[in-house]
Structure 1
Amino acid sequence: MKRGGILNPAICSLLAELGHTDELLIVDAAYPLPSDAHVIDLTLTPGIPRLLDVVRAVAEELVIDAIAVPAEIKEHSPRLFQELLKLVGDVDIDELPYHEFKEQALDAKGIIRTAEFSPYASVRILAGSAY
């Protein structure tokens, strides 16, 4: 048994499969999921788990080069946006109109769906390299 970190086997496997420049989506409960996507659905009850909880856990285990967020998150969920920036640290941040965010997200290697109910609470993570 693992001592700590992410215990969910599906997420552990997905993170281990990510290579440099692969993309991972962590999305809110309402995000429209593509029918052919590799989705790990963590929804339990509204708000459990929160997007920030999942991003925090992933950020502790994955090298992050950059992130992209829907530009609308700054207006509709400003506190969540500020917390997200703190969690990912000093990385490039791309803010895209929501429709562009969804279009570009189609290339993600995997999607983790949270039970976040805040508007536009989704993030696309670009995996970095450990060396």
Structure 2
Amino acid sequence: MKKQGIINRDIAGHLARFGHTDLLVIADCGLPVPQHVPCVDLSYRIGEPSFETVLEAVLEDFEAEAAYIAREISGHNQGLEARMQKQLDCHYLSHEELKAMSHNAKLIVRTGEASPYANVILQSGVIF
């Protein structure tokens, strides 16, 4: 049994197969999930688990060299935007571009988050 890091077997298994530049989406409960992209749905009610709780846990176990967020977050969810900017190298694109980019993800982790534009695409980095 794992002692630390992500203990969800589905997420841990997927992350173990990630390579440099692969894309991981952490999504709110409303982001469309492309049928061909594997999705681990952690939501169990509105708001639970929160986007930030899941993001924090993932970042403890995942090397992200870049993050892509919707520029619309600036007008609708500035608190979350500011917190993400402190921990990630954020690049902005439109929400439509973010949804299109999610089609190239290797995994989507769906949270119960229900605040505007609480989505991020993390680009896998290297640990050396």
Provide the residue aligned with 1:110 in structure 2. 107
Equivalent residue, structure 2, for 1:34:
34
Identity %: 36
Counterpart code for 1:130: I
TM-fit CA distance, 1:85: 2.2
The answer to whether the aligner puts 1:125 opposite 2:119 as a matched pair is no
Q: Report the residue type matching 2:96 in the other structure.
A: H
Judge conservation of contact 2:34–2:102 (CA < 8 Å) in 1: no
For residue 68 of structure 1, what is the aligned residue in structure 2? Answer: 68
Structure 2 partner of 1:100: 97
- Listed as ranges, the gaps of 5+ residues in structure 2 are none
| Residue type at the aligned position of 2:71 | A
Aligned residues: 128
Distance (whole Å) between structure 2 residues aligned to residue 10 and residue 44 of structure 1:
16
| In structure 1, distance between residues paired with 2:124 and 2:37 | 18
Q: Give 1:109 shift.
A: 0.5
Question: How much has 1:7 moved relative to structure 2?
Answer: 1.0
Shift of residue 25, structure 1, vs aligned partner: 0.4
Cα distance per residue 1:2-54 (max 9 Å; x no partner): 22321100010111111000000000001111122100000011111111111
Look up the match of 1:52: 52
**Would you identify which runs of 4 or more consecutive aligned residues in structure 1 move more than 4 Å?**
none
Per-residue deviation, 1:111: 0.3
User: What's the TM-score once normalised by structure 2's chain length?
Assistant: 0.95
Partners of 2:112 and 2:77 lie apart in 1 by 15
Aligned AA for 1:11? I
Whether the aligned pair in 1 keeps the contact of 2:26 and 2:108 (CA below 8 Å) is yes
CA RMSD of aligned residues (A): 1.0
The letter for the 1-side match of 2:40 is I
Deviation at 1:95, TM superposition (A): 0.6
Q: Give the TM-score normalised by structure 1.
A: 0.93
